[in-house]
Amino acid sequence: MRTPLVAGNWKMHKTPSEARVWFNEFLDELGPMPEGAEAAILPSFPLLPVAAEELAGSGVFFGAQDVSAHDWGAYTGEVSAYQVADLGAKYAIVGHSERRKYWKEASSLVAEKAKRALEAGLVPIVCVGEELEVRERGEAIPFVVDQLKASLEGVRPERPEGLVVAYEPVWAIGTGKTATAGDAEAMAEAIRSVLAELFGPEFAEEVRVLYGGSIKPENFAEILAGPNVDGGLVGGASLKVDSFLSLVKTALNR
């Protein structure tokens, strides 16, 4: 049984002091993290020490929005996966559509970042997804399948729990548009087929596949109902305590 994961990607939002307030309010409302689902917050790099301090012992995890493809060295502005892991982080997003779009990150680079995350003991959340024109041509599934294979080239997680894949249709991120539950399930099923091809069917059955793209409390239960969708990579709805808490409770009630 795969444990649902609700991962909040804060992107470039909140100051350290604002993050501290959010964590305190969220944990006060949540109480001890119940069994049956997992929650994680992925803030920007300056907020990671705050997350480590405030979430310690809470049962709520945290991680980074990106890591370098390099272990160490003279790479100004980069952040090593080992630095993130040393803070106590569990997760690292790699290949988010905004990194692919604005920084022109190729899937080959995403694969290298996933490898560094695994080597440091982090769980990479590997993101894949298509632009609107690809979906309108009816090529969404072949596109994402190819992108995922390239993004996992040479990536060898030792266990299924050590990898998460997030399907985020680019046309639905921050636009208010959401893929239908059927679209999300169909893509998650295709993703799991790729994982079975790469790692074997038993391994693939245990890897969590998330949906990300304008998730809200109003639509999350329907999206999460698909047998191959195991949670959400949440953007805007993770910035407010009440909406993120609602998503976590929905996952708990799956």
Contact 213, 226 (CB under 8 A): no
- Of 38, 96, 98, 105, the catalytic one is 96
pLDDT of 254: 87
70 annotated active-site: no
Contact 126, 113 (CB under 8 A): no
With 0-12 / 13-18 / 19 or more C-beta atoms within 10 angstroms meaning exposed / middle / buried, residue 158 is: exposed
Contact 72, 80 (CB under 8 A): yes
Q: Which domains are assigned to the chain? A: 5-252 (3.20.20.70)
With a pLDDT cut of 70, the percent of the chain lying above it is 100
* CA–CA distance, 248 with 230 (Å, rounded to integer): 12
pLDDT of 173: 79
* CA–CA distance, 195 with 152 (Å, rounded to integer): 9
pLDDT of 1: 81
Task: List pLDDT tens digits, range 155-187.
Answer: 999 999 999 999 999 998 777 777 899 999 999
Task: List pLDDT tens digits, range 41-55.
Answer: 999 999 999 999 999
pLDDT of 103: 97
pLDDT of 199: 98
Q: Is 90 helix (H, G, I), strand (E, B) or coil?
A: coil
What is the pLDDT averaged over residues 88-103? 98
pLDDT of 174: 76
pLDDT at 68 over 80: yes
- Of 38, 98, 168, 185, the catalytic one is 168
96 annotated active-site: yes
* CA–CA distance, 139 with 116 (Å, rounded to integer): 31
What is the pLDDT averaged over residues 192-218? 97
Q: How far is CA 60 from CA 34, 197, 221, in A?
A: 10, 32, 21
For tokens 């087929």, name the residue.
193
